[in-house]
Amino acid sequence: MSHHIIDLVDLSKDFDGEEALKNINLYIRNGEFLTLLGPSGCGKTTMLRLIAGFESPSSGKVYIDGVDVTNVPAYKRKVNTVFQKYALFPHLNVYDNVAFGLKLKKVDKKVIDRKVREMLEMVDLKGFENRSVDALSGGQQQRVAIARALANEPEVLLLDEPLGALDLKLRKEMQIELKRMQQQLGITFVYVTHDQEEALTMSDTIVVMRKGVIQQIGTPIDIYNEPKNAFVADFIGESNILPGVMVEDYFVEFAGQGFNCVDKGFSPNEAVDVVIRPEDIKLVPPADSPLTGVVKSVVFMGVHYEMQIDAGAYTFLVHSTGKAEEGSHVGLSFFPDDIHIMRKDTGE
Amino acid sequence: MKRKYFATPYLVWLIVLIVAPMILIMYYAFTGQADGAFTLDNIRTALDPVYMKVFLRSLELALVSTVICLLLGYPIAYFLSRMSPRKAAILSMLFIVPMWMNFLLRTYAWMNLLDTNGLINQMLVALGLGRAKLMNTTGAVVVGMVYNYLPFMILPIYNILQKMPKSNIEAAQDLGGTNFQVFTRVVFPLSLPGVISGITMVFIPCITTFAISRLLGGSQFMLYGDLIENQFLSVGQVNGGWNVGAALSCIMMVLVFICMAITNHIDKGEENGGTLL
């Protein structure tokens, strides 16, 4: 984790007046696994394409390894891309797909051969050299796409929702494998996804985006535990988000009750968003908590039960390994540091 | 009523208009005019060097026209595929609309243009370059064929280029391909099925044409299509013209079939990862 491999400076991009990215400033450290996370249309893919060189920015600069590459075409950049739908060349077999980049560079045949075999071994496709890419399964095509991009020995690998088309089990396996490859090769991965779980399991750094603006940059733990605003809290895992009033430092009112909390620095009686994670809420006998409600639904989720509890002003989502009976009256309890206070979202 | 009966009209159509005429051609090609008995005489006559020479000339002109169509059609299709869909739709109409006109009418128009006193010669004279003999030349026939069949080359190539996923091109750029390399290594190989179908759709009508060579090449300019027409209409049934004409048609079918098989074979070779380029 040393110098910056990529710097984006005041980067903006609009398509026919539609702003896809607004004034982005971001650096990516050499060797890290960075994920651009956000809902569709948040500009994450546009950012990746600007780094790859498939689009040019409306304003701002892209630096790779400290060099301004804003006007450098894609084929001259030291980055390679794994495309969403793999974009393998259907007229070439597995071997020639992986060798494509090296052949263009007129690398010695023996070197190409060694490199291609090494790559195919890494992605576990030894013996598939002469197969047609159309005859491969989705997961295998994915591996070929990764091998093809890595054969060029890029300094940065860009991945555009590469696991989107795979089924859940395969996706989990590939997540682990991608992380392993990244650590083994020691190169930078920039990964685009809308799947928060994927982002949390693989990344060193997560960049949460919305409507072309970066919402928060941080480690998975930071982002999960200390979301900066209601949008991030809602996007990263499930959340209870309630309107509240910050009466004074360390004291907040919501759902018709006052609670002690650990936040300060708001103006007196400032309207805020209050976020409580469903797994941070404990069910207690009604007499033990000022906040009570009626259990409206109980769904078994495997490890835990997901329950909706109607507390009058707000229906809380609660995850708990203990089950409450539907229709029963329960108390809701949480610690002061489980209450996350956020300034009202201005929509930006 | 069972579903399969819906195909009945199509089957009837197929039998009456395609299978029956083919059987008749075979019948005439392999029977004598006088007795209707089986004979190879017609085929022997049709393979006469005089006739084969006409076939070779037809083949040569068809090849030249097809190559010119490809050289003109590919770049046009390529640029159309790069345009916004709206612009491309308007421009491709320019190629399609002339096809709505009758084929003979279009060829007559060229007769007027190429005539000794036609528009082109008038311009040449006005420029002080003197008259040129344009009509009744090989060039005129090739121009006529290229003009008439060019859209059949453009459309299949345009179709396949336009449907080609952009990510394939981006992947090639991403892996270090210059624009030229991207074209030769990815775009062109992937567009080959369109090229093959364009070649087929231009080559076959070119090699069988008789009207264009008659109108633009003059009566002395005989192609294989003229030969067959001549046998049927001028020599006539009583003199065995139908039988020789049918035999000529059979030979043409076989030769065209061989040409197409070769083209398809080249196409397959590409798909299997061969590098013809």
pLDDT at A345: 64
As a whole number of angstroms, the distance between CA B20 and CA B52 comes to: 27
B170/A87 CB distance under 8 A: yes
Q: How far is CA A141 from the centre of its chain?
A: 23
Chain B partners within 8 Å of A73 (Cβ): 173
**Stretch B44-72: mean pLDDT, rounded?**
92
Give percent of chain B with pLDDT exceeding 90: 37
* Residues A348 and A213 sit within 8 Å (Cβ to Cβ): yes
pLDDT tens-digit profile of B14-35?
Answer: 889 999 999 999 999 999 888 8
As a whole number of angstroms, the distance between CA A229 and CA A218 comes to: 13
Full DSSP string of A147-163: HHHHHT--SEEEEESTT
Question: pLDDT category, B1, cuts 50, 70, 90?
Answer: low
B170/A90 CB distance under 8 A: no
pLDDT at A68: 95
- Name the helix (H) or strand (E) containing A27: strand A18-29
As a whole number of angstroms, the distance between CA A27 and CA A20 comes to: 19
Chain A partners within 8 Å of B190 (Cβ): 89-91
CA neighbor of A146 nearest in space, from A76, A53, A54, A80: A80
Q: How far is the alpha carbon of B89 from chain A, nearest alpha carbon, in Å? A: 21
Question: pLDDT category, B262, cuts 50, 70, 90?
Answer: confident
B112 close to A (CB below 8 A): no
pLDDT at B271: 47
Predicted ipTM beyond 0.90: no
Residue B272 pLDDT greater than 80, yes or no = no
Residue B227 pLDDT greater than 70, yes or no = yes
* Residues A213 and A207 sit within 8 Å (Cβ to Cβ): no
Residue B274 pLDDT greater than 50, yes or no = no
Residue B220 pLDDT greater than 80, yes or no = no
Full DSSP string of A254-281: ETTEEEE-S---PPTTEEEEEEE-GGG-
* Residues A205 and A4 sit within 8 Å (Cβ to Cβ): no
Nearest to A89 among B173, B186, B270 (CB): B186
As a whole number of angstroms, the distance between CA A305 and CA A143 comes to: 37
B165 close to A (CB below 8 A): yes
* Residues B168 and A89 sit within 8 Å (Cβ to Cβ): yes
Q: How far is the alpha carbon of B169 from chain A, nearest alpha carbon, in Å? A: 9
**Stretch B43-67: mean pLDDT, rounded?**
91
Nearest to B176 among A87, A91, A152 (CB): A152
Output DSSP code: residue A344: P
Residue B53 pLDDT greater than 60, yes or no = yes
B273/A91 CB distance under 8 A: yes
List the pLDDT tens digit at each of the 348 positions of chain A.
468 999 999 999 999 888 999 999 999 999 999 999 999 889 999 999 999 999 999 999 999 999 999 999 999 999 999 998 889 999 999 999 999 999 999 999 999 999 999 999 988 899 999 999 999 998 899 999 999 999 999 999 999 999 888 888 888 888 998 999 999 999 999 999 999 989 999 999 999 999 999 999 999 999 988 888 888 988 888 889 889 999 989 999 998 888 999 988 888 889 998 989 999 999 999 988 889 999 999 999 888 999 999 988 889 999 998 888 899 999 999 999 899 888 886 654
Full DSSP string of chain B: --GGGGGHHHHHHHIIIIIHHHHHHHHHHTB-TTT--B-SHHHHHHTSHHHHHHHHHHHHHHHHHHHHHHHHHHHHHHHHHHS-HHHHHHHHHHHHHHHHS-HHHHHHHHHHHHSTTSHHHHHHHHTT------TTSHHHHHHHHHHHHHHHHHHHHHHHHHHS-HHHHHHHHHTT--HHHHIIIIIHHHHHHHHHHHHHHHHHHHHH--HHHHHHH-TT---HHHHHHHIIIII-TTTTHHHHHHHHHHHHHHHHHHHHHHHHHHHHHHHTT----
Chain A interface, best mutation among B164, B168, B174, by max A CB count within 10 A: B174
Answer with the residue of higher pLDDT: A215 or B3: A215
B164 close to A (CB below 8 A): no
Chain B interface, best mutation among A50, A82, A89, by max B CB count within 10 A: A89
Q: Minimal Cα distance from B174: which residue of A?
A: A75
Nearest to B177 among A75, A91, A148 (CB): A75
pLDDT at B276: 37
**Stretch B40-68: mean pLDDT, rounded?**
91
As a whole number of angstroms, the distance between CA A46 and CA B202 comes to: 43
* Residues A202 and A36 sit within 8 Å (Cβ to Cβ): no
Total length of chain A: 348
B57 close to A (CB below 8 A): no
